[in-house]
Structure 1
């Protein structure tokens, strides 16, 4: 049996103490020239055991191919489908933010145009939002090729979190795969997403919709990561984003060694930008959310200060004695505790000590 047929036929029979039938879930899809795979994704949405309250499609295509498929689909389903064609090309990230901004549901499921969902994806995820403190739920996926055959490099390593995580207890720079994510719509009301800080990994670009969701959700509440593979994550030659190859230890070390003053300054600026955004939390947000925003702002401000000190450590103008002092001060302040506790990690300590002893400079 083809992987797609097995996936489509999957059924679960289990007692459910939490009634998800009234869950108000919007689906946000940013589309661009999606006619090759779009219909399969739309059909998988129509088969959901918990149907969405609406599907929003923002079409960035220059032609009508994607639009025509979406219009035909909208006529055949019992839930509203809103199709918005952009007057000018917005690009992947801004197109996604537009789709999200048009959603009216209590929850928003990010949806790529070229994947296929299991029939129970929305129902399975909805259960985890029974806890009102959960702001984001992410699930596992099955990595497939263009024809939906499981790829040999299908791996769970790209989705490294499992279970429930309290606020500020995850890697703040984690690369979230948006296509496997559902969030509370309110996180976009609590912290304004306009004029976002620069993307921490891609200099010159504003923070992407999924990176923003991870930042705000992990700052203001819990996240829940489930192991269930609830989507076929299709990899093909035209992916806007995709699964990167697993790096071996040698490549990881090489990339780490190449990071220097400019990289850490950029990360410091990103952290400071996040702190500023958190300080601007909406006064209409619940008191608990406002307090968490204050705590998270302090967290990111401290992280930014640590990264700035680290950047100076790798400047050619910094003398060895000053470097020694910087490392000791960072160590004493707890800066090298694990990354998921707001620190730089033990590998950072090893690298910084090596740079100090051998006076390594990386601009």
Structure 2
């Protein structure tokens, strides 16, 4: 099949560390894509199990452009990915873990979404969770994340930043982004995992989206650098209001600070909505103890509209008035 003249080039950033057990299956799945990648870059973080020798030999016989690099000393998976993505000059960059299996439609499906939506900066998808032997665990990634309908709708309607400030939903193994995102997002901060950071920056200064379709078999095993908790949270009442909002306020303040430090071409300031969120969450974390003052403060905050944007509307108002 001939490539479209307007087709975006696609590069894969694969990071490895002692992953020999699963690499053959993953690399085979990359070559089995309906739409072949234009380039693959593999960065190894000092493996000593034969991984380096395996990927070096594979790169020599692969029917596409592959470059391999090995870190001179252990840098960790975030810094390893930071190096790998910078080595790609393709329009789109796909993040790739060593132990998963890509479904054949992944690149074609995701690249098409970017070609159809020029303003789309980052895209992530669902996945099938499998065990160490790639046996289906009967649960999807979005199910394991307990992705709510409200969160799903917020991402699709351009309000992903509000969701991602609360918690990360972007799993790097399912994600792809336009290379221009790196102009803003580099260097990756030490305080966050790379996929979380890329999602936040993309949502703050562009648009991200998600696809319900699974694009990988997301392997869960004892040596995952990051895995999914498969047990559903147990019922046990609400988290104390003060504790929850105090922790959330700290997180949002850290994100505002990190985003304020970005210095791409031209001055970039965090979106005003992020500062508005910070103001609201700090307010909820520090409600007055005295009943009259608390009620007056909550009603004033309600009039600002922030309860409807950043909390659960009048339900949250009533909870804060009751100080519960």
Range class of TM-score, shorter chain: 0.7 to 0.9
| C-alpha distance in 1 between matches for 2:90 and 2:240 | 41
Note the residue ranges of structure 2 that are not aligned, 5 or more in a row. Answer: none
The yes-or-no answer on 1:352 pairing with 2:320 is yes
In structure 2, the partner of 1:56 is 41
Superposed counterparts of 1:1-363, under 5 Å: 19=4, 22-63=7-48, 65-130=50-115, 131-154=117-140, 156-157=142-143, 158=145, 161=152, 165-169=156-160, 171-173=163-165, 174-189=168-183, 191-194=184-187, 196=189, 206-245=191-230, 247-248=232-233, 250-251=235-236, 253-255=237-239, 257=241, 259-260=243-244, 262-277=246-261, 280-283=263-266, 297-313=271-287, 318-338=289-309, 343-346=310-313, 348-355=316-323
Conserved? CA contact 2:154–2:160, under 8 Å: no
Report deviation, 1:166.
4.7
Could you tell me how far 1:179 is from its partner in structure 2?
0.6
In 1: Cα distance, 2:297 partner to 2:231 partner = 34
CA, structure 1 residues 350+113, in 2 after alignment: closer, same or farther (shift >3 Å)? farther
When normalised by structure 1's length, the TM-score is: 0.76
Tell me if structure 2 keeps the 8 A contact 1:192–1:277.
no
Asked if 2 retains the 8 angstrom alpha-carbon contact of 1:168 and 1:219, the reply is: no
The question of whether the paired residues in 2 share the 8 Å contact of 1:261 and 1:313 is answered with no
Change (3 A) 1:63 1:129: same
Are the equivalent residues in 2 in contact too, given 1:25–1:106 (CA < 8 A)? yes
Cα deviation, 1:85-130, whole Å, max 9, x if unaligned, reads: 1122111222222211222111110101100011221011110011
SS in 1 for 2:294: helix
CA contact (8 A) 2:126 2:141 kept: no
| C-alpha distance 321-112 of structure 1, shift in aligned 2 (>3 A) | same
State the alpha-carbon separation in 2 of the partners of residues 29 and 165 from structure 1.
Answer: 28
Write out per-residue CA displacement over residues 61-106 of structure 1, whole angstroms, 9 at most, x where no aligned residue. 3426211111121012122222221122111222222211222111
Mapped partners of 1:230, 1:56: distance in 2:
20
Q: Deviations along 1:272-311, whole A, 9 cap, x unmatched?
A: 2255146x4422xxxxxx8xx65x5211111112222222
Distance 1:261 1:142 in 2: 33
Q: Is the 8 A contact 1:276 1:297 kept in 2?
A: no
Of stretches 209-218 and 21-30 in structure 1, the one that deviates more from structure 2 is: 21-30
Q: Hey, what's the Cα distance between the residues in 1 that align with 2:240 and 2:181?
A: 33
Would you say the 8 A contact 1:58–1:83 is kept in 2? Answer: yes
How many corresponding residue pairs? 313
How many Å apart are 1:188 and its aligned residue?
1.1
Conserved in 1, the CA contact under 8 Å of 2:30 and 2:102? yes
Q: Extract unaligned runs of 5+ from structure 1.
A: 1-15, 197-204, 284-289, 359-363
**Distance between the aligned counterparts of 2:211 and 2:5, measured in 1?**
17
- For the residue of structure 2 that corresponds to 1:33, the secondary structure is coil
Relative to structure 1, the CA distance from residue 302 to residue 167 in structure 2 (aligned partners, 3 Å threshold; closer, same or farther) is same
Structure 2 CA distance, aligned partners of 1:195 and 1:269? 17
In structure 2, how many angstroms separate the alpha carbons of the residues matched to 1:106 and 1:223? Answer: 16
Report the aligned-residue RMSD.
Answer: 2.9
DSSP 3-state at the match of 1:313: coil
